[in-house]
A and B are shown apart, each in its own frame.
Chain A
Amino acid sequence: MADKHVIVEQLVKTYPGSGAPSVDHVDFDLEKGEMLALLGPSGCGKTTILRMVAGLITPTSGRIRLDGRDMAEIPVHKRNMGMVFQSYALFPHMSVAENVAFGLEMRGVPKAERAARVERALDLVKLRGYGERRITQLSGGQQQRCAIARSLVIEPQLLLLDEPLSNLDAKLRDEMREEIRDIQARTGVTAIFVTHDQDEALSMADRLAVMSAGRIEQIGTPRQIFDRPATEFVANFIGAGNFLTGTVVEPHQANVPGLGMVVFGLDAPLGKDVRLLVRPHRFTLNGKGENAFEGVVRHLVYRGDTLTLDVDVKDRTFLVDLPTHAGTLPERGDRVTLTVARDDVTVIGTAA
């Protein structure tokens, strides 16, 4: 634990004049070279955490340590962290190269070396030859890459990114995801990445922390978060799901009122009420699973790769995603049997 690169302990922030804390006893840590995504709905405290780590605001309580060093007494300009702001915050009165060189200049790097490092940083983000441009002469994506180059050129111990992709259109966003991931892999920089886009978090981060109302609900790898959500909030926030409440009556079996027995793969204590989760794409149609539910297709939406169905099973409706290449597809009004393997039924709150 003590040799982790970044350690955040019991971090709390209560803004003056607001009753409830915006960040409430948050703990997490990062290995060197790791990328952590902070994910959560608007207003859950992601930016606040990032700004405390950066030193732009003071925590109400709690500790932030970088390489074992307590950051509390270290002012922003001495923390050696890079930050990419949502609005990029590029200096409008400087050229692209001057923006990138700024951090090196503040560190007293000699001019010749500065030029060489700026050149390399611009290469890294594919902005070679744009050094003399004004900031206003760059497209949104180019501005963003300039901001990344500016924060990387100082070789920060930690890179902080606050929704850096939210101002970009969908296509550019996809490209930039790859690019940021690629740059991070090549430079080996440790990074904390704020987003409220689940795809972004799942595809970019080594681990993600899902937040709600100032607290971390769950922290883990994308797989852990997706397949073994700790809370219903997490299950709901990351991907869609079908939720069932039942009582465990036998090992790996729960009685769900109005549906019957459901078999699941994980251990759960007998006699307890549990919440079960089935992801829509884990169902198969008319297959042979342990859990078979008969129902009627009420509604369907064709989405290219997948067909999304609403299937009425007794008095509840299941959301089902089927791959469109899987043989004949059902029509509205068809009677179907949904099956799902026990390992695809998750008990919420069971640690992986």
Chain B
Amino acid sequence: MTTSDRKGNRGILLLLLLPGLLALGVSFVAPLLWLLRASFSTSALGGADGSWTLANYADVVLDPFYWRVAGNTLNYGLTVAAFAVVLSYPIALFLARTTSRWRGVLTALAIAPLLTSGVVRTYGWMVILGDQGVINGTLQALSLIQTPIRLSNNFLGATIAMIEILMPYAILAMLSGFGRLNTQLEEAAAMLGANRLKVFWRIILPLSLPGVITAALLVFVLAISGFVTPRLMGGGRVFVLGTEVFQEATVTLNLPLAAALAMLLLVLFSSVIVIYRRALRALEA
């Protein structure tokens, strides 16, 4: 291929990318820049008034409440990610390895919850976990407990619901990351004297780690940016960055502060993605 050919190709490539780039620019990059500018302004106009200030960030950094919120958010994301990954792993592993002709159907079933919105499923969890919910109702009917156990309107409820809501994403991410799994490698290990447990620890687990890490990242990012589930299941007692951004933006109407908080969330995202890329590279090296 000659250089001019390659230049021509690049031109075509750019042309093909143009619609996507435009859409992203208009719907993602521009609002993000506007948000960044807003976080440095004093008014809700997003800096249209020409004001510049660091006061919003000062408010965030100097207020111990926001430090607690950041800590909460991190805790929430890690807990949800850990449980969602652990619970999804056997399902994804089964779906990846089965030779059953139901495999397609089972995979569709596993990710079918994505067909209903997270809001609806959160309400579902309220019905299950509420004080008069299915679990407490049953336990009380059986006289196993007198007063309802607090399963909702707290961190526990918000966590349980979020884990289940994000599990389909975890399963999908794992399935896409299990490309190196291969039954022939397991057979080779068995031929070399590895029993089932050793085959799992030495072959299946290491080879499936990229999928596990991708799933953990995805769930973590979705959990820390979540707003609906922590808000509804937390009953106003769970404070994470998502709920606080909502609070400042729509209740307190302090848009610049909301923007600054959103930026904080963005920084949290970026650092996690850096860690993720490092981890993946370490696995592949």
Interface residues of A (CB under 8 A from B): 54, 56, 75-83, 85, 87, 89-93, 102-103, 106-107, 150-151, 154
Q: Point out the residues of chain A lying under 8 angstroms from B182, CB to CB.
A: 89
On whether A87 and B192 interact (CB within 8 A), knowing A92-B207, A106-B198, the answer reads: no
Known: A76-B190, A82-B191, A106-B194. 4 other contacts (CB 8 A): A81-B191, A87-B184, A89-B184, A107-B193
Interface residues of B (CB under 8 A from A): 180, 182, 184-185, 187-195, 198, 202-203, 206-207, 283
B188–A91 touching, CB < 8 Å = yes
Q: Point out the residues of chain B lying under 8 angstroms from A85, CB to CB.
A: 184, 187-188
CA distance A76 to B193 in the complex (A): 7
A103–B193 touching, CB < 8 Å = yes
B207–A56 touching, CB < 8 Å = no
On whether A106 and B185 interact (CB within 8 A), knowing A91-B203, A93-B206, A93-B207, the answer reads: no
B189–A91 touching, CB < 8 Å = yes
Q: Point out the residues of chain B lying under 8 angstroms from A106, CB to CB.
A: 192-194, 198
Q: Point out the residues of chain A lying under 8 angstroms from B191, CB to CB.
A: 54, 56, 76-77, 79, 81-83, 151
On whether A154 and B192 interact (CB within 8 A), knowing A91-B203, A93-B206, A106-B198, the answer reads: yes
The secondary structure that dominates the B interface is: helix
Instruction: Give 19 CB contacts A-B under 8 Å.
Output: A56-B191, A76-B187, A76-B190, A76-B191, A78-B193, A83-B187, A89-B184, A89-B187, A89-B188, A91-B203, A92-B180, A92-B207, A93-B206, A93-B207, A102-B192, A103-B192, A151-B191, A151-B192, A154-B192
A150–B192 touching, CB < 8 Å = yes
Whole-angstrom distance from the CB of A135 to the nearest CB of chain B? 11
Whole-angstrom distance from the CB of B153 to the nearest CB of chain A? 45
CB contact between A102 and one of B180, B189, B195, B207 (< 8 Å): that residue:
B189
CA distance A228 to B218 in the complex (A): 67
Q: Which has the most chain A C-beta neighbours within 10 Å: B187, B192, B283?
A: B192
CA distance A90 to B182 in the complex (A): 11
CB contact between B190 and one of A77, A91, A150, A151 (< 8 Å): that residue:
A77
Q: Point out the residues of chain B lying under 8 angstroms from A76, CB to CB.
A: 187, 190-191
Q: Point out the residues of chain A lying under 8 angstroms from B207, CB to CB.
A: 92-93
CA distance A107 to B207 in the complex (A): 22
Q: Point out the residues of chain B lying under 8 angstroms from A91, CB to CB.
A: 185, 188-189, 203
Q: Point out the residues of chain A lying under 8 angstroms from B189, CB to CB.
A: 91, 102
CA distance A82 to B180 in the complex (A): 23
